[in-house]
């Protein structure tokens, strides 16, 4: 199983890891993830030489998806709604990385920059259109998104109310 299957394995590991980390927290044994992906631990560690590296990769993949969505989303609120709906349970990744002593900005500078840029574009556009409060900045948006995800995680049945309140608060 050469290059082709190797890449498939890597992709599968990432996918499975995201799910498992989400469902059972970032403290799950790496072996659990390997098992869930149907590969030996050796394979997992060949692709990600460290549990932290795996965590990083999962985290970066998430950021990339967020960035892509931001680039094509019609509005900031649509993007937030989508992101919150997507965020599978326990999105404790940033936290995990922070705990691990890794500054996500440092480790993943480019991806981070892209995400910030994409948010910035959306934000300015909507602010110009007068649909979003003008005093909002990119870091605030990130904080609010993280908060909304957490809120929905705490009380899934409150999802629509949480978004209602947030979107109402975002209006100028």
Partner DNA sequence: CATGAATGAGTATTCATTCAT
Partner DNA sequence: TATGAATGAATACTCATTCAT
In whole angstroms, the minimum distance from the beta carbon of 49 to DNA comes to 6
Identify which of residues 7 and 158 has a Cβ nearer to its own copies in the complex: 158
Please count the residues of the chain. Answer: 172
**Cβ count near 19 (within 10 Å):** 16
Site size with DNA, rule: CB under 7 A:
24
Identify which of residues 36 and 148 has a Cβ nearer to its own copies in the complex: 148
Q: Find which of its own copies, DNA, none residue 46 binds, CB within 5 to 8 Å per kind.
A: DNA
Indicate whether 39 belongs to the interface with DNA (CB under 7 A).
yes
H helices of 25-156, where?
30-37, 41-47, 51-72, 76-86, 93-99, 104-107, 109-128, 138-154
Indicate whether 15 belongs to the interface with DNA (CB under 7 A).
no
Q: Which residues bind DNA (CB under 7 A)?
A: 1-3, 5-6, 9, 27-31, 38-43, 45-47, 49-52
């Amino acid at each position: 199983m050469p290059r082709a299957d190797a890449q498939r394995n890597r992709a599968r590991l990432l996918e499975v890891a995201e799910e498992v980390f989400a469902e059972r927290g970032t403290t799950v044994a790496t072996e659990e993830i390997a098992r869930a992906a149907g590969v030996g631990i050796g394979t997992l560690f060949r692709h990600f030489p460290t549990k932290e590296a795996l965590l990083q990769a999962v985290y970066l993949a998430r950021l990339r998806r967020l960035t892509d969505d931001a680039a094509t989303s019609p509005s900031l609120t649509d993007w937030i709604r989508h992101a919150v709906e997507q965020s599978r349970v326990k999105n404790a990744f940033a936290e995990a990385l922070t705990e691990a002593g890794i500054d996500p900005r440092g480790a993943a500078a480019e991806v981070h920059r892209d995400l910030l840029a994409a948010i910035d574009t959306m934000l300015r556009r909507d602010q110009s259109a007068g649909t979003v409060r003008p005093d909002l900045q990119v870091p605030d948006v990130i904080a609010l998104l993280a908060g909304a995800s957490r809120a929905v995680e705490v009380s899934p049945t409150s999802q629509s109310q949480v978004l209602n309140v947030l979107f109402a608060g975002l209006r100028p």
